Structure 1
Amino acid sequence: MKSADEVEIDGLMGRYFDGLYHSDSGVLRTVFHPELAYVNATGGNHEFMDLEAYMTRIDNREPPAAHGEKRSESVDRVTLTGRQMGLVEARMTMMGRDYQDLLTLIHTDAGWKIITKVFAYHEQED
């Protein structure tokens, strides 16, 4: 049986995947901490953003859902260190790319939030 924290994190990850697929910054703001650190580690060209810059990017892109694009995602591992922090390893395929995410979680008064998103992707082969 899952703990209350595990159930909450399952919901958080569902909103995370839905928010990305639908390019919905309103939904994504419910999963990210206001002091989010975003790092794209693809190809050694590290790109860093804060929450507002990332939400602007989300708002300006066409949602994969708008094309009925195929979507797949998985949470490969959740590791909690006490009740204050954790790590989620996740994968998502969309926009012709396979993404791998390392998401650091912290527990706040508002529940679990993603405070760091470090990810890389590779283009899918046709």
Structure 2
Amino acid sequence: MAEHDQAEIEKLLGRYFDGLYNSDSAMLRTVFHDDLVYVNGTAGDYEIKGLEAYMARIDKRTPPVSRGDAREEQIERITLKGDRIGIVEARMTMMGRNYQDLLTLINTDDGWRVLTKVFSFVERKG
């Protein structure tokens, strides 16, 4: 993986984590592709949305930062296939949940963007 791609993707993921924690749809729009597919794969909570429906949900959410929610995140793996597509495995803890994300990336004229977000979560214990 080229160093400039690695750096750009890490910055993208920084905005992703910050945007989620702050419920900042404007920031998240710089992360997601216009054709985003959002899939909650959690058992009993399966749903699929596009970008606008997901951003509407973000706009209605009480930002975790405003509640002082604990926040923890980690990029577990970045894998690129050539210079146009890739996948990220990441995790984030917030809102009393442990999230596991699989994010597919596409390199656009505007740089790397998340094209699909497939995730699941489990409630935190204690």
TM-score tier by shorter-chain length is: over 0.9
| Partner Cα distance (2:104, 2:40) in 1 | 14
What is the alpha-carbon distance in structure 2 between the residues aligned to residue 120 and residue 86 of structure 1? 20
Structure 1 range deviating more: 41-50 or 113-122 = 41-50
1:1-126 paired onto structure 2 within 5 Å = 3-126=3-126
Listed as ranges, the gaps of 5+ residues in structure 1 are: none
Read off the aligned partner of 1:22 and give its amino acid letter. N
Distance 1:98 1:75 in 2: 14
Per-residue Cα deviation, 1:57-107 (whole angstroms, up to 9, x for no partner): 000010000012110000000000010000000000000000000000000
| Aligned equivalents of 1:104, 1:44: Cα separation in 2 | 23
Question: Taking structure 1 as the reference length, what is the TM-score of the superposition?
Answer: 0.97
Q: Take 2:45 and 2:24, find their aligned partners in 1: how far apart are those partners? A: 26
Using the alignment, how far apart are the partners of 1:17 and 1:54 within structure 2? 15
Equivalent residues, number:
126
Amino acid corresponding to residue 60 of structure 2 in structure 1: N
Name segments (4+ residues, structure 1) moved above 3 Å.
none
SS state of the match for residue 43, structure 2?
helix
Question: Which 5+ residue runs of structure 2 have no aligned equivalent?
Answer: none
Cα RMSD after superposing both structures = 1.2
